[in-house]
Structure 1
């Protein structure tokens, strides 16, 4: 547990720096572009991240899972790089289709279409899950955090330059694109210094030949990652499609401030998965303890959002974004729910149940997207936020039920009374 908390400390420290700097560039972007202009910016970024999220494979999980064996990470890394190249090819085609049809469903001006396509391509070329996986495999969380800090720093500097030299949507998109490229380069450089990357091992066939379940695990984690994107980025796109650019911009601000907890949940998930893989016998106890800690943190964060959220919105984004206060509060509650569920989802993935985790996440996400139009008609941004909250709540309940029926994890129950020298009783979980 000591190493786990140390790793979480590095990740959360990096997230803390990111959070502070994100307030800087968020304030610069919203006050410079206004509600509608920031809405265009939010839609372009969301489209780029949607393309990357759908095409991208969660290769860091493959490196951690198959690189931890006695053979070392060379072949796992080669498989991950091959999948990254496949992601770029698939993503380019997807980006072309989405941007080509964007004017049929997104409120984006024609003159921004080439900028949107360019941002999608830069995002694809900046995929960095493989070097991140190498660093996590070797528990180099401090080095990874230092490299990832490049992104918010470049964004903040780029936002300042945009305000001075190019105070429009293009200026801020260029700043975001520069940050994607630099953080990817930083992670690849430090990963290569930590672990030798053998390009001769790049192959889509070697790992599947040794592990029969490889492709099932690959597609399950890819689809789970796509669902994570759908629950956030696709939601912003659809809010824009159903409610217009201004509503999309306001929802993006509310989401970034209110769902900062989701970023915290992702940090916990990334820190806990390598521990669960390396310590299967204690996996349930680790996950339970992390869920309890997350619950306390979530309650505190929601309270802060209620007390200071309106003031924070006005201070950072300006008076015109004040109307999104309650959407921000609802999204902060959704973030707290995700925070509790992060360790539960990692527990399922570490036990080889990535497919189960995907299904549990898929149904609530699809329901939220299906009912989003009706939710916006009912209560605007607050309705969309309630759709996110409902999706997160159903998913976490599903993770808990799935874990109760997971045979691979042994439940260790301390009896109320034991005879001297008697070992604690091990009780198998209920049959599925």
Structure 2
């Protein structure tokens, strides 16, 4: 069990490693081609789309893994997941159109950039790939998922290189990022269809909940918990732009891109471990404990590197205009280290059917942090926003630890 979980995590980490290297390439190209102010505007537009997808989307991959273990229930689980994806696309498109049309000056997206932002948001919604991701994980096809994941960064890096040479505009970068989303989604669907034929005739929002009591509670619990996690990062980028302007949002984005690499690793751990926890509940506790120890050592090492080499990394990639990202980067790397340590514990709670508990453990600290955000940004700038993330993460992970300990005693 531990060997398979580590193997699956390894495949996901390989994709994350490729993406991490290539992300530095396209980050360097975008920051230097656009400059501080325009890069900040690009970041705000891109983050808006990510927020819409994050809040409108469901964690359908967890639905597929949870109820698709038996062959006779797989079509029902997949059909339910596909129906939820359709709801996400429709709801997200309507919400984005309304916000961009009627939001006033409080939304830091220039009016002339809003049509391009809407089109990019629509493309991002159409590129939702949670269901095929679930099918690949259900069948332990992590190598295929790793290949599909790498598509995003490859397309972005190549496209950013061409754009930087030919037409370094915000709209051009949004086009490249949109093409990357569609290419990745197409790869995921192609590989999922090769793994298992997709039964689109089984699409239904009612069949699986009718056969499985508590299905809707599970769906809303996992999805809202993911939305809270998204809000703690993506929403903060947008709020930094609202409170401090696009340039500060750009600085914060550079800090998060460099400092939150471990967060992607934490997400890889959760996605790789969750199927194992569902398959073998008896050994789930031991697996979560072993992975947590490994994660703590890795996280401490990355935070140390951020402290020692952070300024040099920022200068080499983004340039001196973004040096203010150093302390936010260090704080966000510490937050990501905590996320990595808590990832397997969160997966354990979800596998036990306690998705609403994870929602509360993430949501309450985030609300506290958001209440303090205006004051912290006013006093400390982007560093204040990073402190909100670190504080919320620390409280959430502490909650995961205490809750799993109580469950163990029970």
Task: Provide the C-alpha distance between the structure 2 equivalents of 1:98 and 1:352, rounded to a whole number of angstroms.
Answer: 34
Matched, 1:163 2:164: yes
Task: Provide the C-alpha distance between the structure 2 equivalents of 1:270 and 1:239, rounded to a whole number of angstroms.
Answer: 29
List per-residue Cα deviations over 1:312-332 (Å, max 9, x = no partner).
000000011112211111111
Task: Provide the C-alpha distance between the structure 2 equivalents of 1:198 and 1:288, rounded to a whole number of angstroms.
Answer: 38
Matched, 1:263 2:261: no
List per-residue Cα deviations over 1:114-134 (Å, max 9, x = no partner).
011111101100000000000
Matched, 1:294 2:295: yes
Change (3 A) 1:398 1:101: farther
Correspondence for 2:307:
306
CA RMSD of aligned residues (A): 1.0
Secondary structure at the residue paired with 2:145?
Answer: helix
Task: Provide the C-alpha distance between the structure 2 equivalents of 1:107 and 1:50, rounded to a whole number of angstroms.
Answer: 14
Q: Counterparts in 2 of 1:171-210, with a 5 A limit?
A: 171-210=172-211
Give the superposition deviation at 1:405. 2.3
Secondary structure at the residue paired with 2:20?
Answer: helix
Matched, 1:397 2:401: no
Secondary structure at the residue paired with 2:381?
Answer: helix
Secondary structure at the residue paired with 2:70?
Answer: coil
Per the normalisation by structure 1, the TM-score is: 0.93
Give the superposition deviation at 1:165. 2.2
Unaligned runs of 5+ in 1: 412-428
Correspondence for 1:37:
38
Mean Cα displacement is larger for which, 159-168 or 347-356? 159-168
Unaligned runs of 5+ in 2: none
Task: Count residues in correspondence.
Answer: 409
Give the superposition deviation at 1:72. 4.1
Give the superposition deviation at 1:230. 0.2
Structure possessing the higher radius of gyration over alpha carbons: 1
Correspondence for 2:282:
281
Task: Provide the C-alpha distance between the structure 1 equivalents of 2:211 and 2:97, rounded to a whole number of angstroms.
Answer: 36
Give the superposition deviation at 1:75. 0.9
Higher RCO (CA 8 Å, separation ≥ 6 residues): 2
Correspondence for 2:4:
3
Matched, 1:353 2:354: yes
Per the normalisation by structure 2, the TM-score is: 0.98
8 Å CA contact 1:103–1:110 kept in 2: the answer is no
List per-residue Cα deviations over 1:166-201 (Å, max 9, x = no partner).
201011111100000000000000000101111111
Q: Counterparts in 2 of 1:9-158, with a 5 A limit?
A: 9-158=10-159
Task: Provide the C-alpha distance between the structure 1 equivalents of 2:152 and 2:349, rounded to a whole number of angstroms.
Answer: 30
Task: Provide the C-alpha distance between the structure 1 equivalents of 2:308 and 2:275, rounded to a whole number of angstroms.
Answer: 36
